[in-house]
Amino acid sequence: MAFFVDTHCHLDAPEFGSEMPQIRARARSAGVGFCVIPAVAAFNFDTVRELAHRQGDAYALGIHPLCTGDARDEDLALLDDALARRRDDPRLVAVGEIGLDYFVEGLDADRQERFFHTQLQLARKHALPVIIHVRRSVDKVLKHLRQVAPGQRWEGIAHAFNGSEQQAQACIDLGLKLGFGGAVTFERALQLRRLAASLPLEAIVMETDSPDIQPHWLYRTQAQRAAGEPQGRNEPSELPRIAEVVAGLRGIEAASLAEATTRNAAHALPRLQALIGLSADRPRGA
């Protein structure tokens, strides 16, 4: 039976509270067999690792660009040490979430780039793929990838990709898969939907970015929130419905998309291959 891999979900987020067993059960019931839980800062390195082991999922370790302002320079050494100590952990599948963000105002661009560049070097040092935040920063991200490994390809994922067709191809040419999630469900996201429909199928992976990037059926406008309607909380169980949108745009069955994107996830994050193989006959995570 085909199942989905949610390649990016922050299941340790406080929005989920103590509901994690129920949230994970809903995801499995919906057909999400595996989740990848990226860290965002040194404070949650242990949290995501323990959660992944408890739930039979996978995790990544890294410092998010939005967290670089509060991070200490020493946290890069802590990351290096954590990657070394967990080098034989089969559930550690990537360095992430790392990257650059030029959408949020007030961030120190130079500091972001320094943290990103160093973390790319650590990914090479520890022979791990990367999970990269690329919000309004694709060209700069590509520049650093090329600087750290000139003429070489990368394994990993450009998370929540929303760039141009040319940028998408540049990421693919460097070896990255492109993550699609709730944003593609909005009819006004014309460029993103064109990419979801036209990119090579082998370039696409699915994600939710739970609890963020709500699909359109969970999203509430500022006016709706002011009127008392709560913002919907995204979670991995929404992934199959998001995937139905992508499958519809491509004119294929959702089951075919599940099979292809699960295979793509295992190519982007090779340690997933053995983990998924443990449960390839049923939509479970362990």
Report the predicted TM-score, pTM, of the whole model to 2 decimal places.
Answer: 0.95
Q: Is residue 189 part of a domain?
A: yes
The 3 state secondary structure assigned to the chain is CCCEEECCECCCCHHHCCCHHHHHHHHHHHCEEEEEEECCCHHHHHHHHHHHHHHCCEEEECCCHHHCCCCCCHHHHHHHHHHHHCCCCCCEEEEEEEEEECCCCCCCHHHHHHHHHHHHHHHHHCCCCEEEEEECCHHHHHHHHHHHCCCCCCCEEEECCCCCHHHHHHHHHCCCEEEECHHHHCCCCHHHHHHHHHCCHHHEEECCCECCCCCCCCCCCHHHHHCCCCCCCCCHHHHHHHHHHHHHHHCCCHHHHHHHHHHHHHHHCCCHHHHHHCCCCCCCCC
Q: What is the pLDDT of residue 1?
A: 53
**Residue 259, in any domain of the structure:** yes
Q: Which residues of the chain have pLDDT under 70?
A: 1, 278-286
Q: Give pLDDT tens digits for 21-50.
A: 999 999 999 999 999 999 999 999 999 999
The total of structural domains in the chain comes to 1
pLDDT at 217: 96
State the pLDDT at residue 205.
Answer: 98
In a domain, 285, yes or no: no
Residue 45: domain span: 4-277
According to the model, what pLDDT value does residue 278 have?
Answer: 41
- Whether residue 17 lies inside any domain: the answer is yes
Residue 260 is assigned to a structural domain of this protein: yes
- CATH of residue 56's domain is 3.20.20.140
